Structure 1
Amino acid sequence: MATIVFDLDGTLIDSAPDIHAASNAVLAEAGFDPLTFDEVRSFVGKGVPHLVGCLLEARGQPREGELFDRLYADFTARYHTAVTLTQPYLGVMDALEMLRTRGHVLGVCTNKPVAPARAVLDHLGMSDYFGAVLGGDSLPVRKPDPEPLLATFAALGGGQPVFVGDSEVDAQTAEAARIPFALYTGGYRKTPVTEMHHDALFDDFDALPELVEWLAWL
């Protein structure tokens, strides 16, 4: 039996449309022009403070101060209901069901704040698959620090570990934690896969159950 922890945004779900909409809404309220979808998607993965800092920097504003605090509060308030445009990637639900049927233990470790993470999992009917969900505000540190990932595995009771993610942050986290890492190549990464740490690659969730069982015994 393996214990499999997933990243969320860009791995299990394509949440960039909701994040893009929420980002442009808070920018508009502050009097700034909107950003493109690709611009906002490139900011995803390092937590809300990083994202809001990038929004401001893209509009020529400082990444800290009163304006940052206001946009951060506005974005965080919107994030809890930013679920209507988000969808699981193709094959995710079947893969989760297969893994659960085979007796594997599943969890989520994301840099998304834990309340919005749970909200979107509930909205998509995915919550029951996961025995633990840790967000970017669950601990004093977030990925790529390995502590949130290790804490998620501990909350699930240990077992043969595998981490599944899509981004540079996930790759760095897995390497620091010394956990076998499966890289989903259809997510939000910006770096060529040849330049990223990984133990296995996949672009089709139909392949994931067999892949993670192989990785669990590395």
Structure 2
Amino acid sequence: MDVSIVFDLDGTLIDSAPDIQGIANGLLAREGAEPISLAETRAFIGDGAAVFVARMRAARGIDEASQDRLLADFTGTYETAVTLTHPYPGVPQALADLRNAGARLGVCTNKPLRPTRAVLAHLGLSDFFEIVLGGDSLPVRKPDPAPLFAAFDALGGGRRVYVGDSDVDAETASRAAVTFFLFTEGYRKSAVEDLPHTAKFDAFADLPNLIRSMK
């Protein structure tokens, strides 16, 4: 299988929203603000930690002057917030099947790199990936295609496939002009039909055969 596959992380390989919600609501409680729901948490995820905090803050009427302090508190806790996070069903087996078939695998996420590595290690997924890039690995982050290009370049040749779940991922793939497989059970904000994609799937058990069937 001569293919390089790069995955998004939150909402694609893992459901991390419960842990992120826990961090957010701890911060909001200290501010005397109402907690955010799990649905709000998922809606705020996707553009990196700073944007998440800004969305959370704005949703609860906390002024912009608090942004840097809240972001520092958020990122300080993020690395150890792994206990409620889990891979989506079928993820470990799909990754094993793809790697055993010769695919080269990587991760490109807007989550900061240290918590990215921490959660991959906690879930026993680290060894599947030859390259892991976080939202702070380069001066720019998705939907700028540069991090995705960097991940693919690190993996080497073969057909390039990006797997993600969100509007940001779809835009990134489009700007990079690479094949995009959309996981429909993640954190996307738009309807599936409104996101450009080569193929879609709702179960990771289907992904290896989708990859094999590419024209």
TM-score class, shorter-chain normalisation, is: over 0.9
Q: 2-side partners of 1:139 and 1:53: how far apart?
A: 21
The code of the aligned residue for 2:80 comes to T
Which amino acid is 2:137 matched to? S
- Provide the C-alpha distance between the structure 2 equivalents of 1:30 and 1:73, rounded to a whole number of angstroms: 14
Aligned to 1:56: 57
Q: Deviations over 1:21-63 (max 9, x none)?
A: 111011112222211111111100110011000011001133x
Query: How far apart in 2 are the matches of 1:158 and 1:56?
Result: 43
Q: Which residue of 1 aligns with 2:126?
A: 127
Deviates more, 1:183-192 or 1:27-36: 27-36
Deviation at 1:213, TM superposition (A): 2.9
Contact 1:47 1:112 in 2 (8 A): yes
Aligned with 2:33: secondary structure?
Answer: coil
* Partner amino acid, structure 2, of 1:45: G
SS at match of 1:107: strand
Partner of 1:68: 67
The aligned residue for residue 33 of structure 2 is 32
Corresponding residue of 1:93:
92
Question: What's the counterpart of residue 83 of structure 2?
Answer: 84
Percent sequence identity is 57
Q: 1:28, 1:34 within 8 Å by CA — same for their partners in 2? A: yes
Would you identify which runs of 4 or more consecutive aligned residues in structure 1 move more than 6 Å? Answer: none
In 2, Cα distance between the equivalents of 1:175 and 1:71?
33
TM-score w.r.t. length of structure 2: 0.97
Q: Please give the per-residue CA displacement for 1:64-91, whole angstroms capped at 9, x wherever unaligned.
A: 33x1111000000110001000000000
Residue 136 of structure 1 contacts residue 142 of structure 1 at CA under 8 Å; is this kept in 2?
A: yes
TM-score, normalised by the number of residues in structure 1? 0.96
* Unaligned stretches of 5+ residues in structure 1: none
Shift of 1:159: 2.2
Deviation at 1:136, TM superposition (A): 0.3
Contact 1:182–1:212 (CA under 8 A) maintained in structure 2? no
CA deviation vs aligned residue, 1:153-192 (integer Å, no higher than 9, x gap):
0111232110000000000000000000000001011111
Query: Aligned ranges for residues 1-218 of structure 1 at < 5 Å?
Result: 1-62=2-63, 64-65=64-65, 67-215=66-214, 218=215
Equivalent-residue separation in structure 1 for 2:101 and 2:154 (angstroms): 20
* CA positional deviation for 1:99: 0.4
Amino acid at match of 1:202: F
- Contact 1:2–1:213 (Cα < 8 Å) also in 2: no
**Root-mean-square deviation (Å):** 1.0
Q: How many aligned residue pairs are there?
A: 214
**Partner-residue secondary structure (3-state), 1:42:** helix
Question: What CA distance in whole angstroms lies between the structure 1 residues aligned with 2:97 and 2:36?
Answer: 39
